[in-house]
Amino acid sequence: MGRAADRVMTGLPSLFRLDQQVAIVTGGGRGLGLAMAQALSEAGAAVAIFEVDRETGQAAAEGLTAAGGRSWAMPVDVGRADQIEAALDRCEAELGQPTILVNNAGVTSNSPFEDLPADDWQRVIDINLGGVFRTTQALGRRLMEGGAGGSIINVASISGLVGNRGGNNSHYCASKGGVIALTRSLAIEWAPHGIRLNAIAPGYFVTPMTDQLRIRDARFYQELVDRVPLGRFGQGSDLAGAVVFLASLASAFVTGHTLVVDGGYTAW
């Protein structure tokens, strides 16, 4: 996304348009990542899906294309810097220079901290925080060379802001807290380059993981729902406005911010 000072746009709707922009969504083949990829595509961006599973990523890109957008997918493990660099090269060739990045790829596991295997800790930290580091660094260097600025959106979690009730995943919380701190600090470092960094912190959303919780422990699931002031878990579409806002010129003066999308869960 170009520097706001260098571009004059009139009319409120145009501020949210992403025409002629290229966006990358890591982990964009399913779930919340796919929902955000769909929102960016509907706003006019060409969308590159970086997805560790080839078939999942390809199906997502084909779906966006069938809906009238421009999309392309490549299998990428965000734990591998070489794969990220190769994917960025291919993305430029297929769609053009990306100026929007949504760092969504992430993993978790369920284990009491006292029993947490060191390998499990390392895997969650390395993908959730290390993946943001690798992808952001690789694209950031290119954005600095091009001089056009950009928007980087890191998907954190309310688990990086408050303790996760009954989750047995403090390592996941630590990784997402790190994402929030990195976003805030790097926003200051890269502001002179016209590169904005913000985070989205989703609350409880309907996902395969929460579906499993509903089946496994219906009472606890309902307890979590009841703690959300809006009375429900989020849907993927609830992130559409947030990601388009942070990707577009509508948020040209917003950087270093964490946008919480949780139905009011953390407002108690």
Residues known to be catalytic: 172
DSSP state of 234: B
Amino acid at 103: N
Q: How many residues does the chain have?
A: 268
Q: How does strand 71-75 pair with strand 195-202?
A: unpaired
Rounded Cα gap, residues 252 and 268, in angstroms? 30
For residue 22, give the 3-state DSSP assignment: strand
Name residue 49's beta-bridge partners.
25, 73
Closest-CA residue to 125 (of 80, 175, 162, 159): 175
Amino acid at 9: M
Burial 44-75 (b: 16+ CB within 10 A, else e): bbbbbbbbbeeebbbbbbebbeeeebbbbbbb
